[in-house]
Amino acid sequence: MGEKLKIAIQKSGRLNEKSLELLKECGIKLSGGNGKLKAEAKNFPAEVLFLRDDDIPQYVEQGVADVGILGENEVWERKKNILTVEKLGFAGCRMSLAIPKDEEYTGLSFFNGKKIATSYPAILSDFFVGNGIRVEIEEISGSVEIAPGIGLADAIFDIVSTGSTLLMNGLKEVKVVAESEAVLISGRELGEAKKSILDRLVFRIKAVLRASENKYITLNAPLSAVPEITALLPGMKSPTIVPLAEEGWCGIHSVVKEDEFWDIIDRMKELGAEGILVIPIEKMVL
């Protein structure tokens, strides 16, 4: 039997579902139900281990798992000897400093001599050392946002996505220290066989990510507008142009970036385009 790549993902929590979805979109089907520690991939030389996200950097360093999917914040905090292979574009969040909302924020020097509660002492300490500011760090493992209210700390450093948790606890975000998202990490010493499986996995992940950033677009246009419309649509190589039964018209097919397509569509309508369809792309291989 050939080698298998051991992929660690979060057992339950914010990253679990998206990690499984990504593997599925990469064509990796898992056998076995939920609640297990391990699942075999049916059609790819891999097995998935379900772990707590905090433990993934250590397990990957030790080779218990070969690769892992977790928030970059945990990678920075754990400082293990591992490689970040690919950013995955989900579970985005800020790591921010927050203070009681009635306090006046005077810039980073506000924190001089203050006590700050956090579950990320390493990242926080690096940040203040880098800025030459002395603070006292109070490490707590959860519910960091209640610390100022109960007199445990003057401020907090934590993950923020919408800011509603801060608001509910009478805090305001005053400084974004880092921006994190989910990443794929790997051990530094994978053998050749595992490295080549990892390459295949990364190739698939890239195709999936690219597809989610792009849309397939088709439209009908008067032949006279083709040069201007195709200039708006670079496509993978160049747009496909097909004849229509109606004289003087053609169909144009291309690929556009998700975050650009509204601007392009407005411009194309001005140029006389009709019947514009925007279609999701499942995989995109260059």
Alpha-carbon distance values, 10 to 29, 78, 182, 203 (Å):
17, 16, 11, 22
Start-end of H helices in 71-191: 72-78, 121-130, 164-168
Residue 65 touching ligand ATP (CB under 6 A): no
Pick the binder of ligand ATP from 43, 109, 161, 224 (CB under 6 A).
Answer: 161
68 makes contact, choosing from ligand ATP, Mg ion, none, with CB < 5 to 8 Å by partner type, with none
71 binds, among Mg ion, ligand ATP, none (CB under 5 to 8 A by kind): ligand ATP
Nearer to ligand ATP, 9 or 217 (CB): 9
Q: SS3 string of 12-56?
A: CCCCHHHHHHHHHHCCCCECCCCCCCEEEECCCCEEEEEECHHHH
| The one among 19, 68, 73, 171 contacting ligand ATP by CB under 6 A | 73
Question: Binding segment for ligand ATP among 24-32, 67-75, 169-177, 268-276 (CB under 6 A)?
Answer: 67-75
Alpha carbon of residue 19 to chain centroid: 10
AA identity, residue 168:
M
Does position 14 interact with ligand ATP (CB under 6 A)? The reply is yes
Shortest distance in whole angstroms from residue 63 CB to ligand ATP? 20
Binding status of residue 78 toward ligand ATP by CB under 6 A: no
CA 71, 77, 78, 83 torsion: positive or negative?
positive
Q: How far apart are CA 71 and CA 53, in angstroms?
A: 8
Report, in Å, the least distance between residue 232 CB and ligand ATP: 35
- Total number of residues that touch ligand ATP (CB under 6 A): 15
Contacted entry of Mg ion, ligand ATP, none for residue 197, CB cut-off 5 to 8 Å set by kind: none
Which of residues 20, 28, 75, 93 is near ligand ATP by CB under 6 A? 93
DSSP strand pairing (115-118 vs 136-139): parallel
CB of 93 to Mg ion, least distance (A): 13
Q: Do the beta carbons of residue 73 and residue 123 sit within 8 Å? A: yes
The residue whose Cβ lies closest to ligand ATP is 71
Smallest gap from Cβ 205 to Mg ion, in A, equals: 23
Whether the CB-CB separation of 230 and 271 falls below 8 Å is answered with: no
CB of 65 to Mg ion, least distance (A): 16
Task: Choose the contact partner of 15 out of Mg ion, ligand ATP, none; CB within 5 to 8 A by kind.
Answer: ligand ATP
Query: Which residues contact Mg ion (rule: CB under 5 A)?
Result: 53-54
What are the residue ranges of helices labelled H in 111-180?
A: 121-130, 164-168
Is 159 an interacting residue with respect to ligand ATP (CB under 6 A)? Answer: yes
- 77 neighbors 16 (Cβ within 8 angstroms): no
CA distance 165 to 154: 17
Contacting positions for ligand ATP (CB under 6 A): 10, 13-15, 52-54, 71, 73-74, 91, 93, 159, 161, 180
